């Protein structure tokens, strides 16, 4: 980011991390995420049977995010 941000920010040692608003994303995109997970052959092969159809919204937000990420990774890279 050198050249974009001020030098004192670029080289500052005590940078503050950014936490993604995962819970908000999950709340707003639950149906699309559930559909992606339900349609994933990869998730179906490695996750508990019926995880997308039964209780997806009850899973911890980090688990839902990981399942969705795996489904999207499968789609993006054509994994079979």
What pLDDT, in 10s, does the model give residues 27-76? 899 999 999 999 999 999 998 888 877 788 888 888 998 999 999 999 99
Residue 68 in any domain: the answer is yes
How far is 42 from 79, CA to CA, in rounded Å? 8
Alpha helices in 6-50 (DSSP H): 7-10, 22-28, 30-38, 41-46
How far is 41 from 48, CA to CA, in rounded Å? 12
Residue 7 in any domain: the answer is no
Q: pTM (2 decimals)?
A: 0.71
- Domain count along the chain: 1
Domain of residue 62 covers 21-77
């Amino acid at each position: 980011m050198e050249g974009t941000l001020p030098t004192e920010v670029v080289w500052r040692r005590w940078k503050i991390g950014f936490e993604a608003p995962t819970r908000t994303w999950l709340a707003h995109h639950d149906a699309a995420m559930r559909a992606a997970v339900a349609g994933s052959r990869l998730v179906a092969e490695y996750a508990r049977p019926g995880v997308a159809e039964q209780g997806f919204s009850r899973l911890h937000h980090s688990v839902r995010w990981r399942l969705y990420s795996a489904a999207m990774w499968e789609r993006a890279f054509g994994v079979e």
